[in-house]
Amino acid sequence: MKDIEHRAYVGGEWIATASRFDVMDPASGARLAEVSDADAALARQAVDAAHDALPSWRSRTAHERASILRRIRALHAEREDELATLLTREQGKPLAEARAEIRYAAGFYEWFAEEGLRAYGETIPSPFPGHRVLTFRQPVGVGAAITPWNFPSAMIARKLAPALAVGCTFVLKPSELTPLSALAIAQLCEDAGVPKGVVNVVPTSDAARVGEVLTADSRVRALSFTGSTAVGKQLYAACAGTVKKLALELGGNAPFLVFDDADLDAAVDGLMVAKLRNGGQTCVAANRILVQRAVHDAFCEKLASKLAQVRVGPGLEEGVTLGPMIDARAIAKIEAHVEDARDQGAKVVLGGKSLGGSFYAPTLITGVTSQMQMANAETFGPVAGILTFDTEEEGVALANDTPAGLAAYFYARDVGRVFRVAEALEVGMVGAGTGLISTPVAPFGGVKESGLGREGSKHGLEEWTELKYVCVGP
């Protein structure tokens, strides 16, 4: 693999700062790189660069911008192995999952290269004689994004691609745990011909100092954030002073319901994806597994058999299907949730222990109740805690008993039940008979305290555009 880029990318220049911070391999604990540590001054410089580049970039035709997005997508394909290996080294997920993420990320550049050509306006019949009523979609201006560590390529692509497609310029603050993938994306943009200043990446070990610049600067007209609900609320408040356009994709606490008419083998397979993808470290991970009492024992037996086959180890090792957790804090949270469940009478059927370092055993726990920590907060790990319910109404009520509303999953075969439950679940996304719902072509986002706005699909353009109405007189 070629040398890892470790410098900030501002105004089309690679900038090495005097201060740096370490990026660690979660599998080995070894240092991967020392990365430039952006301060408030460099963040302001990035906003300056994006502001200066905006007039030229937004004046380009949608076809010109689409051509550049297609080149970014092509470079993803050409460098897939290199990008996936880097992602595994800094984030930990198995290499096969890392490759899947790189392809998923590439899909957003391909999708929005086309959708950018369809940022349509309207001609509306006017009530006034001789007048024309028109609408246009125009770029919001300078956009900023704050992205998480769990999908360090895909979460950037989901924001960057639509922003570039409609003519916005961009300032990115990636997670301090996974900045290398973000800097690799900056290199792809440069190589694809993105003009200087259009894309800027400011890695930092102090998110607050860069975040304050992005939220306070009135030239930044849109902010997109993926991360915890607590931080999302802070950003929501911080952006009030300049009334920015906000897209917030926040915490999930997703329910996974198994009804008594479900295909249990299919449900177990779906849960293995929804629970263990990226080691359970996803905002849409199944967190509360709700199983109807009549099929509880059979489902748990099948699930235990599948979990016992999971191979744990460093993500670059052949055959590994569960990599390390991101860091020691993640392990500590998982251990706290499991211990709390034990203390309140739940039964650890499988796993329930750390395997050393940042590795944790695939775990099955039965007898979980809604009073336990793992039923009220995202465990963010490979722990399947099973709750039971008796009726459809009770199952839906338990699923909705949370301030979060991002995703939900359920398995049932009765067509009437499928539609009743899908409509009754208070979430932004539902997997009915599937544990994998993420795709560039569908709107991704939540309700309640899980956020604002949608990413992906044609609706993803709306976060980065303003609708202008023009009335043309006679």
pLDDT tens sequence for the chain (474 residues): 457 899 999 999 999 999 999 999 999 999 999 999 999 999 999 999 999 999 999 999 999 999 999 999 999 999 999 999 999 999 999 999 999 999 999 999 999 999 999 999 999 999 999 999 999 999 999 999 999 999 999 999 999 999 999 999 999 999 999 999 999 999 999 999 999 999 999 999 999 999 999 999 999 999 999 999 999 999 999 999 999 999 999 999 999 999 999 999 999 999 999 999 999 999 999 999 999 999 999 999 999 999 999 999 999 999 999 999 999 999 999 999 999 999 999 999 999 999 999 999 999 999 999 999 999 999 999 999 999 999 999 999 999 999 999 999 999 999 999 999 999 999 999 999 999 999 999 999 999 999 999 999 999 999 999 999 999 999
Distance of CA 206 to the CA centre of its chain: 21
| Residues with Cβ within 8 Å of residue 343, at least 6 apart in sequence | none
Reported pTM: 0.97
Q: Where are the alpha helices (DSSP H) in 79-131?
A: 80-91, 95-115
Per-residue model confidence (pLDDT) at position 1: 42
- Spell out the domain ranges in the chain: 8-250+448-472, 254-432
Written as one string, the DSSP assignment of 193-212 is TPPTTTEEE---S-HHHHHH
- The H or E element containing residue 246 is strand 245-249
Cα→Cα distances 95→102, 234, 323, 342, 378, Å = 11, 34, 9, 33, 24
Burial class (CB in 10 A: 0-12, 13-18, 19+), 103: middle
Per-residue model confidence (pLDDT) at position 3: 74
Per-residue model confidence (pLDDT) at position 4: 84
Per-residue model confidence (pLDDT) at position 2: 57
Distance CA 151, CA 158 (A): 10
Strands 199-201 and 169-173: parallel
Residues involved in catalysis: 249, 283
**Per-residue b/e over 140-157, b at no fewer than 16 CB within 10 Å?**
bbbbbbbbbbbbbbbbbb
**Per-residue b/e over 233-243, b at no fewer than 16 CB within 10 Å?**
eebbebbeeee
The CATH code of domain 8-250+448-472 reads 3.40.605.10
pLDDT, tens digit, 9 for 90 and up, residues 133-156 = 999 999 999 999 999 999 999 999
Q: What is the assigned CATH class of domain 254-432?
A: alpha beta
Other Cβ atoms closer than 10 A to 276:
24
